[in-house]
Structure 1
Amino acid sequence: MPAGLRQVVPGIPGTPLPRGILGASCTNVTDVTEDEIHQLNGVEWLSIGCCPARDWPDPCEDPQPGDPTQKEFCRPSTEHAAPITIYAGAECSAPGFSYAEARGQALASLALGEQHAIEAGFMRTKLSVEAVDTTPAEGPLNIAQGVAALEGCLAENYGGVGTLHIPVGVAALLGCCNVLHDDPVAGGLRTMAGNCAVIGAGYSYLNLGPGGIPAEPGAAWLYITGPLAIRRGPVDVIPDRSRASASVNIKNNDRRVLAERTVVVGTTCTICAVQVRASP
């Protein structure tokens, strides 16, 4: 075949990871309406289920050691979720890059990468800030032990189904010990206890533990939370079509277009963390 100029063809489309924070069955994702747009400033609510139900001894039976003498009452706590802004930008020389092309690039990049950005933002602003570290003094556990520690930690504080947050970089190890299975009834990946899992590239990208501490070499941080509720705002393109000319920097003739949206990721009750070895 004779040499010649390469032909320009459409880019290769991608598919978001199916087990990420937006695709996992344990995540409730809501696109807010215009009437709900104020929720993107952050939301708060009274916790449900963070105070455990307890058993009460039969008054007709003889008291046993350790029997409670009075019933306990619990005040629900106020919980909140803060906004996270995610974005993707496209930049190129304006003469060969129209506004429509730049806009399409930015939107496609955001659609493919928004899970990554949400996971990283959630780890940075919530998981690593509020988690209780269950890693023993001896150091990181193997992955099955780590999941067991997390499930025990959550079960002590919450009676419902929880959500594991697993970095993609160690996800394959979960199959070595049958820690997770695909549950056709409940949907998604589940543990033997019934907790579901989010497997996220954003968690691998940061790999931060409580206090923002990076994992040791050859290790990874895993988390468990209660269920997730994600409120997602509309995508804003900056500048919009009416101001397409404003996308060009007249100093260097480069065009820039930004696509961004705000999300609010909420969870409930205790957040637990553990460091595991990234090897079988």
Structure 2
Amino acid sequence: MPPAGLSKAVQAIGGSPLPHGILGGCATVQDVKDPHELMGVEWLALGCCPVLDWQDPCLTDESLGDESPGAPQEKEFCRPQTEHAEPFTVYSGSECSALGWSYKEARAQAVASLELGEQAAIEAGFMRLKLTRDAVDLTPPEGPLSIAQGVAVLEGCLAESYGGIGTLHIPAGAAALLGCCNLVKEDPETGNLETLAGNCVVIGAGYSAMNAGPGGIPAEPGTAWLYITGPLLIRRGPVDVIPDRPGPSVNIRNNDRQVLAEKTVVVATTCTVCAVQIRVCE
């Protein structure tokens, strides 16, 4: 029997974000200080216009007057689209009695919590602001597909609209199913998960927490939503701690101390976003 008395205060149990989340290697992550980049960005899309094949009729036996359904006579032009990405904030707030908690301790708690949970919050924000807003739903009228069928449909959509290496977004609650059909492999050099087609795979706790489809509609029980996008570029601002000094952190009405740690994030992708609903329970 341990001796009776007060328990000893020790350090918190540390943790690590999931290794294959949105910050795990599939995205290019830039820590920026320019406030203008953190107010939203826009650019001309690159790679969304089709690259077509053409055959010079002068090099064939067909004259210019002959009809040739397989070879267009005029080359086509495409106007690049303007794309944009919106900013959002991820944050962690700490609260405790000011009598037993110093400002330094509250600040450290808020910053450490933000560091651990930032990735999942970014995934949830990206799903809410981009994936569920802009995705083309490829779920057939018959209903949700198996995960292998879903991945195949999404990769076909990306190949037709972009053609480069993209990003497959998988909720953590469906990740185990990827191993059932050998759908992904680990790149020995980067450690990233890749599909057989070469697209990078993000397994997100934030996606699993939301599990929402196009329009923000929650998935039905036993199902999950998968998405595919082009490459990702994430701009992150510095950590802001509010307030930045001890005095204003105390609420004089109840003597509680509150400290907030937050940062601004802009997650950008390009071209078509496609979605499909899959079964997680057979």
- Scaled to the shorter chain, the TM-score interval is over 0.9
Structure 1 residue 245: Cα displacement: 1.2
Mapped partners of 2:251, 2:82: distance in 1: 47
Asked whether 1:30 is paired with 2:30, we answer yes
SS in 2 for 1:223: strand
In structure 1, distance between residues paired with 2:149 and 2:220: 17
1:50 aligns with 2:51: no
Note the alpha carbon deviations across 1:21-56, whole angstroms, 9 max, x for none: 111x220000003xx221000000000000121111
In the alignment, which of 184, 187, 210 is matched to residue 183 of structure 1?
187
Q: Which residues in structure 2 correspond to 1:231-246 (within 5 Å)?
A: 231-241=235-245, 244-246=246-248
Match of 2:205 among 177, 182, 201: 201
Count, aligned residues: 275
- TM-score normalized with structure 2 length: 0.95
Match of 1:192 in 2: 196
Q: Where do 5+ consecutive residues of structure 2 fail to align?
A: 63-67
Give unmatched runs, 5+ long, in structure 1: none
Q: Which amino acid is 2:140 matched to?
A: P
User: Structure 2: how far apart are the matches of 1:254 and 1:229?
Assistant: 39
1:185, distance to aligned residue in structure 2 (A): 4.3
AA aligned to 2:192 is G
**Deviation (angstroms), 1:187:** 4.5
Q: How does 1:60-139 map to 2 (within 5 A)?
A: 60-62=59-61, 64-139=68-143
Provide the C-alpha distance between the structure 2 equivalents of 1:139 and 1:213, rounded to a whole number of angstroms.
15
Deviations 1:169-223 (A, max 9, x none): 0001001100010012465100111000111000001111111111111000000
Larger radius of gyration: 2
Post-superposition offset of 1:62? 4.7
| Residues 134 and 274 in structure 1, CA contact (< 8 A), matched pair in contact too | yes
Q: How many Å separate the matches in 1 of 2:60 and 2:190?
A: 40
Task: State the 1:111 CA deviation.
Answer: 0.2
The one-letter code sitting in structure 1 at the alignment partner of 2:185 is H
> Distance in 2 between the 1:135 and 1:216 partners?
13
Runs of 4 or more, structure 1, over 6 Å off, are: none
Distance in 1, matches of 2:106 and 2:49, equals 51
Q: 2:276 aligns with which of 267, 270, 274?
A: 274
Equivalent position SS for 1:88: strand
User: Quick one: which of 151, 165, 174 aligns to 1:161?
Assistant: 165
Deviation of the 1:3 alpha carbon: 1.3
How far, CA to CA, are the matches of 1:133 and 1:173 in structure 2? Answer: 21
Identity of aligned residues (%): 70
One-letter code aligned to 1:18: P
Q: 2:61 & 2:269 partners in 1: Cα distance?
A: 42
The SS at the match of 2:36 is: helix
Query: How far apart in 1 are the matches of 2:110 and 2:239?
Result: 11
